[in-house]
Amino acid sequence: MKPVLLGAIAFLLGSIPTGMLVAGAKGIDLRGRGSGNIGATNVLRTTGKGAALLTLLGDGIKGALAVLIARHFGAGVFYEGMIGVCAVLGHNYSVFLKFRGGKGVATSIGVLSIYSPQTGAITIIIWLMTVLITRYSSLGALVSFGILPFSAFFIDATGKLPVYLLLTLMIFVRHRENILRLIAGAEQKIGGRL
């Protein structure tokens, strides 16, 4: 019962719509601006760099806290990761937004930062390099999380692999429209016009 209860708490924690709260404090409703997404990229485009950074940190903290709470209550290594996955699901399908939400990148990185700091660091580096080279935030997420299960296989306990696979799967599912736009050459670059 403990993992189920902790998973429910993590889902509620992940459901807190950081981007909506940050942009809302500036009088901006993200659902009707830019891409309509509640993540840091849309906050950057519609509200500015400071608000985007707050959103990025807030969304990351949700994932990190979920794993820390699970660890505090002795959930065990596997369940720590699964409880982190619950936080990402909460972010993606927020109970406060009628089960709509973000794409889970920052929250997933927050989970990795505690669950497996080395793997998290590699994922962040690959994401940053891809974004800096291409200026596509979505491509950065797809490349870094696409590589995640492979990088983790070599540097982490294989028992954690199901968690990495789930995080990767969720990133790809939430970015399916971005994938189509990338293929069509219609994806919005960071810094581009809305």
What is the rounded CA–CA span in Å between residue 118 and residue 12?
Answer: 27
pLDDT computed for residue 194 by the predictor = 45
- Give pLDDT < 70 ranges for the chain: 157-158, 191-194
pLDDT computed for residue 192 by the predictor = 54
pLDDT computed for residue 158 by the predictor = 67
Tokens 């789930």: give the residue: 166
pLDDT computed for residue 157 by the predictor = 64
Count Cβ atoms below 10 Å from residue 35 Cβ, excluding itself: 16
